[in-house]
Amino acid sequence: MSSDIPSIDSARARHAQWHEEREAALTRPQGNLALIETRWYQPGAEIPDEDAVTPAPGTVTVTRLARADLDTGLQQEGLRLWDAASPAIRAFQGVDVYDYDPHWVVRGTYAPLADGHTVPFEHLRDNGRTRELAVPGVITVAIGGAEYRLSAFDDDGVLLLVFGDPTNRESTYASGRFLFVERASDEFARAGEVVLDFNRAFVPPCGFSDQYNCPLPPPSNRLAVPVTAGEKRPRFAAGFEH
C-alpha cells in the first residue's frame, strides 16, 4: 500500500468533492435512484414505442437497453423506466463513507490479455448463472501481504473492478463494491502501472434500485483483507424498502 501522495489535505478535499458529486449524481433524473422498472422482451419481439409506456403527464422517461439472452445467446432488448421523483429519491438520505485514508491508494501493474478474453461473472438476478464479460487485462497488486490478480472488465471503454472483502458482511454493501481503474481504453493493450484508489470504491447500482442486475465479484476479486475505504451503504428514511 502506498501513501506517497502530494498533499493529504488536498487529497481529502478531492475525496470530499468526489463524495458530494457522487451523491448528487445518484438523484439525477436518470441516476441510480431514479430507476423504477426494467422490462425485458423475448429475442425478436417487437419493442413498444417509448411514448406508449410512459405515464403522461409525469416525471417518467424511458430508455432502451440490450443484453444477450442467457438461454439462446441472441440479443434481448428491453426498456428502462426512470422517475425523477421516485420513492427512492424522496427517501434517500445519503451514502455513508469511510474517512479518506492514503494507505488505500494502492499501486499495481496491469498486463493485457489476448483480444476477446472473457471471464464469467455471476450476476445478482441470474440465479447463479454467469455472463461472459470482456476482460482486457489483469491487475497484479499486493494487499495485506498477499498478491492478487484482479479481473477488471471493459465497461464501455472504462475498466471496472468488481471486488468483495470482509467488510461486506458488516459495514459495506453486502454483494460487493465497484471501483473504476484509471486507464484509457487506448491503453488496454499496453502493460504498465495502475493506481487503485479504494477511497473511491462505490456501492453498485443495485444498492439503489432492485431493477439493476449487477455483476458479482468473481473468486479472483475476493480480498481477504477488510477494505476500510470508500462507500459503505446508502441511507434511506425509516420504513423505506427498495
pLDDT at 51 over 90: no
How much is the pLDDT for 53? 83
Band (121; pLDDT cuts 50, 70, 90): very high
**How is residue 194 written as a grid cell?**
495502475
**pTM for the structure as a whole:** 0.93
Report percent pLDDT > 70 for the chain.
Answer: 96
pLDDT at 181 over 70: yes
Assign 183 a pLDDT band (cuts: 50, 70, 90). Answer: confident
- Is the pLDDT confidence value at 157 over 70? yes
Q: pLDDT value at position 5?
A: 47
Q: How many CA atoms lie within 13 A of 233 on its CB side?
A: 11
**Once rounded to an integer, what is the mean pLDDT over residues 155-174?**
96
Residue 116, pLDDT above cutoff 60: yes
- Given a cut of 60, whether residue 186 has pLDDT beyond it is yes
CA dist 44 → 47, 62, 72, 81, 104 (Å):
9, 20, 12, 21, 47
Name the least confident of 19-33, 49-63, 202-216, 223-237. Answer: 49-63
Tens of pLDDT, residues 54-105: 766 689 999 999 999 999 999 999 999 999 999 999 999 999 999 999 999 9
Looking at residue 6, its pLDDT comes to 56
pLDDT for 57 equals 64
Span of 44-53, 108-117, 203-212 with lowest mean pLDDT = 44-53
**pLDDT at residue 106 in the model:** 96
State the pLDDT at residue 194: 95
Average pLDDT on 136-158 reads 96
Contact indicator for 41, 78 with CB cutoff of 8 Å:
yes
Go through 122-153 and write b for each residue having 16 or more CB atoms within 10 A of its CB, e for each that does not: ebeeeeeeebebebbbbbebebeeeebebbbb
With a cut of 90, say whether residue 203 has pLDDT above it. Answer: yes
